[in-house]
Structure 1
Protein backbone atom coordinates (compact mmCIF):
# COMPACT_ATOMS: atom_id res chain seq x y z
CA UNK A 1 0.00 0.00 0.00
CA UNK A 2 2.85 2.39 0.80
CA UNK A 3 4.47 1.66 -2.59
CA UNK A 4 1.21 2.39 -4.40
CA UNK A 5 0.79 5.74 -2.58
CA UNK A 6 4.41 6.64 -3.20
CA UNK A 7 4.13 5.88 -6.96
CA UNK A 8 0.95 7.99 -7.20
CA UNK A 9 2.73 10.92 -5.57
CA UNK A 10 5.60 10.54 -8.03
CA UNK A 11 3.20 10.45 -11.00
CA UNK A 12 1.23 13.46 -9.76
CA UNK A 13 4.44 15.41 -9.12
CA UNK A 14 5.73 14.54 -12.59
CA UNK A 15 2.47 15.71 -14.19
CA UNK A 16 2.53 18.99 -12.27
CA UNK A 17 6.15 19.61 -13.26
CA UNK A 18 5.43 18.80 -16.92
CA UNK A 19 2.54 21.28 -16.89
CA UNK A 20 4.71 23.99 -15.37
CA UNK A 21 7.43 23.42 -17.96
CA UNK A 22 4.91 23.63 -20.82
CA UNK A 23 3.47 26.90 -19.46
CA UNK A 24 6.93 28.38 -18.98
CA UNK A 25 7.90 27.60 -22.57
CA UNK A 26 4.73 29.15 -24.01
CA UNK A 27 5.18 32.31 -21.92
CA UNK A 28 8.78 32.60 -23.14
CA UNK A 29 7.53 32.50 -26.74
CA UNK A 30 4.99 35.21 -25.97
CA UNK A 31 7.64 37.34 -24.31
CA UNK A 32 10.02 36.87 -27.26
CA UNK A 33 7.37 38.01 -29.75
CA UNK A 34 6.59 41.07 -27.61
CA UNK A 35 10.27 41.92 -27.35
CA UNK A 36 10.75 41.55 -31.10
CA UNK A 37 7.77 43.81 -31.84
CA UNK A 38 9.04 46.43 -29.37
CA UNK A 39 12.50 46.35 -30.92
CA UNK A 40 11.10 46.80 -34.44
CA UNK A 41 8.89 49.65 -33.21
CA UNK A 42 11.89 51.35 -31.60
CA UNK A 43 13.93 50.99 -34.81
CA UNK A 44 11.08 52.45 -36.86
CA UNK A 45 10.65 55.39 -34.51
CA UNK A 46 14.39 55.92 -34.46
CA UNK A 47 14.53 56.11 -38.26
CA UNK A 48 11.65 58.59 -38.32
CA UNK A 49 13.40 60.79 -35.76
CA UNK A 50 10.71 60.54 -33.09
CA UNK A 51 13.24 60.93 -30.29
CA UNK A 52 14.30 64.41 -29.24
CA UNK A 53 17.91 63.52 -28.51
CA UNK A 54 18.88 64.16 -32.12
CA UNK A 55 20.90 66.78 -33.92
CA UNK A 56 19.36 68.92 -36.64
CA UNK A 57 20.48 71.71 -38.94
CA UNK A 58 18.86 75.12 -38.72
CA UNK A 59 18.64 77.07 -41.96
CA UNK A 60 16.54 80.03 -40.90
CA UNK A 61 15.10 81.86 -37.90
CA UNK A 62 12.75 84.79 -38.43
CA UNK A 63 9.45 85.87 -39.96
CA UNK A 64 7.04 83.47 -41.68
CA UNK A 65 7.58 84.81 -45.23
CA UNK A 66 11.34 84.32 -44.98
CA UNK A 67 10.90 80.83 -43.54
CA UNK A 68 8.58 79.82 -46.39
CA UNK A 69 11.04 81.21 -48.93
CA UNK A 70 13.99 79.30 -47.43
CA UNK A 71 12.01 76.07 -47.12
CA UNK A 72 10.88 76.30 -50.75
CA UNK A 73 14.44 77.05 -51.84
CA UNK A 74 15.71 74.01 -49.89
CA UNK A 75 13.05 71.67 -51.31
CA UNK A 76 13.97 72.72 -54.86
CA UNK A 77 17.49 71.42 -54.22
CA UNK A 78 16.04 67.92 -53.67
CA UNK A 79 18.61 66.97 -51.06
CA UNK A 80 18.33 63.76 -49.05
CA UNK A 81 17.14 65.22 -45.76
CA UNK A 82 13.59 66.34 -44.96
CA UNK A 83 12.91 69.89 -43.94
CA UNK A 84 10.29 71.20 -41.56
CA UNK A 85 9.13 74.57 -40.39
CA UNK A 86 8.67 75.07 -36.64
CA UNK A 87 7.07 78.00 -34.87
CA UNK A 88 8.61 79.37 -31.70
CA UNK A 89 6.92 82.61 -30.72
CA UNK A 90 7.40 85.10 -32.30
CA UNK A 91 9.57 83.54 -35.03
CA UNK A 92 9.66 80.60 -37.41
CA UNK A 93 12.53 78.16 -37.84
CA UNK A 94 13.44 75.95 -40.77
CA UNK A 95 15.14 72.73 -39.71
CA UNK A 96 16.70 70.04 -41.86
CA UNK A 97 17.25 66.39 -40.97
CA UNK A 98 17.39 64.41 -37.78
CA UNK A 99 20.80 62.93 -37.04
CA UNK A 100 21.75 60.40 -34.37
CA UNK A 101 25.18 61.83 -33.78
CA UNK A 102 27.09 65.00 -34.43
CA UNK A 103 29.32 63.39 -37.05
CA UNK A 104 26.32 62.62 -39.29
CA UNK A 105 25.03 66.16 -38.78
CA UNK A 106 28.42 67.65 -39.68
CA UNK A 107 28.57 65.59 -42.89
CA UNK A 108 25.14 66.86 -43.90
CA UNK A 109 26.05 70.41 -42.90
CA UNK A 110 28.92 70.39 -45.41
CA UNK A 111 26.41 69.77 -48.21
CA UNK A 112 23.80 72.20 -46.89
CA UNK A 113 26.30 75.04 -46.39
CA UNK A 114 27.00 75.09 -50.13
CA UNK A 115 23.59 76.73 -50.60
CA UNK A 116 22.91 78.06 -47.10
CA UNK A 117 26.16 79.43 -45.65
CA UNK A 118 24.52 80.58 -42.40
CA UNK A 119 23.24 77.09 -41.54
CA UNK A 120 24.38 75.55 -38.27
CA UNK A 121 23.92 72.41 -36.17
CA UNK A 122 21.74 72.43 -33.10
CA UNK A 123 20.44 69.89 -30.67
CA UNK A 124 16.86 70.82 -29.85
Structure 2
Protein backbone atom coordinates (compact mmCIF):
# COMPACT_ATOMS: atom_id res chain seq x y z
CA UNK A 1 0.00 0.00 0.00
CA UNK A 2 2.78 2.40 0.94
CA UNK A 3 4.60 1.57 -2.28
CA UNK A 4 1.51 2.31 -4.40
CA UNK A 5 1.00 5.67 -2.69
CA UNK A 6 4.66 6.63 -3.09
CA UNK A 7 4.63 5.52 -6.73
CA UNK A 8 1.52 7.70 -7.35
CA UNK A 9 3.21 10.73 -5.79
CA UNK A 10 6.32 10.23 -7.90
CA UNK A 11 4.17 9.84 -11.00
CA UNK A 12 2.25 13.05 -10.24
CA UNK A 13 5.44 14.95 -9.50
CA UNK A 14 6.93 13.72 -12.77
CA UNK A 15 3.84 14.88 -14.71
CA UNK A 16 3.94 18.31 -13.07
CA UNK A 17 7.62 18.74 -13.96
CA UNK A 18 7.07 17.65 -17.58
CA UNK A 19 4.08 19.96 -18.02
CA UNK A 20 6.04 22.80 -16.43
CA UNK A 21 8.89 22.30 -18.89
CA UNK A 22 6.50 22.31 -21.85
CA UNK A 23 4.88 25.54 -20.69
CA UNK A 24 8.31 27.23 -20.42
CA UNK A 25 9.26 26.03 -23.91
CA UNK A 26 5.97 27.23 -25.42
CA UNK A 27 6.18 30.62 -23.69
CA UNK A 28 9.71 31.14 -25.03
CA UNK A 29 8.52 30.24 -28.52
CA UNK A 30 5.65 32.73 -28.20
CA UNK A 31 8.08 35.44 -27.06
CA UNK A 32 10.30 34.77 -30.08
CA UNK A 33 7.32 35.13 -32.43
CA UNK A 34 6.35 38.40 -30.73
CA UNK A 35 9.88 39.78 -31.15
CA UNK A 36 9.83 38.84 -34.85
CA UNK A 37 6.50 40.63 -35.30
CA UNK A 38 7.84 43.75 -33.57
CA UNK A 39 10.95 43.74 -35.75
CA UNK A 40 8.81 43.35 -38.88
CA UNK A 41 6.60 46.28 -37.85
CA UNK A 42 9.65 48.44 -37.17
CA UNK A 43 11.04 47.65 -40.62
CA UNK A 44 7.70 48.51 -42.23
CA UNK A 45 7.58 51.83 -40.35
CA UNK A 46 11.12 52.71 -41.49
CA UNK A 47 10.22 51.87 -45.11
CA UNK A 48 7.00 53.93 -44.87
CA UNK A 49 8.93 56.93 -43.53
CA UNK A 50 11.49 56.68 -46.35
CA UNK A 51 8.74 56.66 -48.98
CA UNK A 52 6.92 59.63 -47.43
CA UNK A 53 9.99 61.74 -46.58
CA UNK A 54 9.16 61.38 -42.90
CA UNK A 55 5.72 62.92 -43.31
CA UNK A 56 2.59 61.22 -42.04
CA UNK A 57 -1.15 61.81 -42.14
CA UNK A 58 -2.44 64.37 -39.70
CA UNK A 59 -4.25 67.69 -39.38
CA UNK A 60 -3.53 71.40 -39.66
CA UNK A 61 -5.56 74.55 -39.17
CA UNK A 62 -6.27 76.60 -42.27
CA UNK A 63 -6.40 80.22 -41.12
CA UNK A 64 -6.31 82.06 -44.45
CA UNK A 65 -6.56 81.56 -48.18
CA UNK A 66 -6.77 84.16 -50.93
CA UNK A 67 -5.36 85.00 -54.34
CA UNK A 68 -3.51 87.99 -52.85
CA UNK A 69 0.01 86.89 -51.92
CA UNK A 70 0.84 90.03 -49.94
CA UNK A 71 -2.29 89.60 -47.80
CA UNK A 72 -1.34 85.96 -47.12
CA UNK A 73 2.18 87.00 -46.07
CA UNK A 74 0.71 89.68 -43.82
CA UNK A 75 -1.58 87.14 -42.10
CA UNK A 76 1.34 84.74 -41.66
CA UNK A 77 3.59 87.43 -40.17
CA UNK A 78 0.86 88.59 -37.79
CA UNK A 79 0.14 85.02 -36.69
CA UNK A 80 3.84 84.21 -36.18
CA UNK A 81 4.24 87.28 -33.98
CA UNK A 82 1.29 86.40 -31.74
CA UNK A 83 1.51 82.57 -31.60
CA UNK A 84 5.21 81.76 -31.45
CA UNK A 85 4.58 78.19 -30.27
CA UNK A 86 2.72 77.21 -33.47
CA UNK A 87 4.42 76.48 -36.79
CA UNK A 88 2.96 78.20 -39.85
CA UNK A 89 3.11 77.04 -43.46
CA UNK A 90 2.56 79.08 -46.60
CA UNK A 91 1.51 77.08 -49.66
CA UNK A 92 0.26 77.89 -53.11
CA UNK A 93 -2.77 75.85 -54.13
CA UNK A 94 -3.82 77.27 -57.44
CA UNK A 95 -5.30 79.92 -57.53
CA UNK A 96 -4.92 80.69 -53.81
CA UNK A 97 -2.15 81.27 -51.32
CA UNK A 98 -2.95 79.21 -48.23
CA UNK A 99 -1.73 79.69 -44.67
CA UNK A 100 -1.95 76.60 -42.47
CA UNK A 101 -0.87 76.18 -38.88
CA UNK A 102 0.50 73.33 -36.77
CA UNK A 103 1.22 69.62 -37.09
CA UNK A 104 -1.39 67.60 -35.22
CA UNK A 105 -1.55 63.79 -35.15
CA UNK A 106 -5.21 63.67 -34.09
CA UNK A 107 -8.26 65.75 -34.83
CA UNK A 108 -8.70 66.31 -31.10
CA UNK A 109 -5.28 67.98 -30.84
CA UNK A 110 -6.16 70.18 -33.81
CA UNK A 111 -9.51 71.07 -32.24
CA UNK A 112 -7.81 72.14 -29.00
CA UNK A 113 -5.51 74.46 -30.97
CA UNK A 114 -8.47 75.76 -32.99
CA UNK A 115 -10.23 76.80 -29.78
CA UNK A 116 -7.19 78.92 -28.84
CA UNK A 117 -7.21 80.94 -32.07
CA UNK A 118 -10.93 80.96 -32.94
CA UNK A 119 -11.56 84.41 -31.42
CA UNK A 120 -8.95 86.08 -33.62
CA UNK A 121 -9.43 83.81 -36.66
CA UNK A 122 -13.17 83.01 -36.72
CA UNK A 123 -13.03 81.44 -40.21
CA UNK A 124 -10.20 79.04 -39.33
CA UNK A 125 -10.98 75.35 -39.73
CA UNK A 126 -9.32 71.93 -39.51
CA UNK A 127 -7.96 70.28 -42.68
CA UNK A 128 -6.36 66.90 -43.31
CA UNK A 129 -2.76 67.23 -44.35
CA UNK A 130 0.62 65.55 -44.47
CA UNK A 131 2.43 66.62 -41.32
CA UNK A 132 6.07 66.65 -40.35
CA UNK A 133 7.21 64.73 -37.29
CA UNK A 134 7.87 66.63 -34.09
CA UNK A 135 11.47 67.56 -33.51
CA UNK A 136 12.99 66.12 -30.36
CA UNK A 137 15.14 68.37 -28.19
Normalising to structure 1: TM-score of the pair? 0.59
User: What runs of 5+ residues in structure 1 fail to find an aligned partner?
Assistant: 1-30
User: What runs of 5+ residues in structure 2 fail to find an aligned partner?
Assistant: 1-35, 130-137
Superposed, 1:35-46 pairs within 5 Å as: none
Structure 2: how far apart are the matches of 1:79 and 1:112? 12
Aligned to 2:95: 90
Structure 2: how far apart are the matches of 1:66 and 1:109? 21
Structure 2: how far apart are the matches of 1:75 and 1:116? 13
Superposed, 1:10-29 pairs within 5 Å as: none
Give 4+ residue runs of structure 1 displaced > 3 Å after superposition. 37-42
Structure 1: how far apart are the matches of 2:116 and 2:110? 10
SS of corresponding position for 1:54? strand
Structure 2: how far apart are the matches of 1:78 and 1:122? 19
Change (3 A) 1:90 1:77: same
Superposed, 1:1-124 pairs within 5 Å as: 50-51=55-56, 53-62=57-66, 63-124=68-129
Shift of 1:114: 2.6
RMSD: 3.0
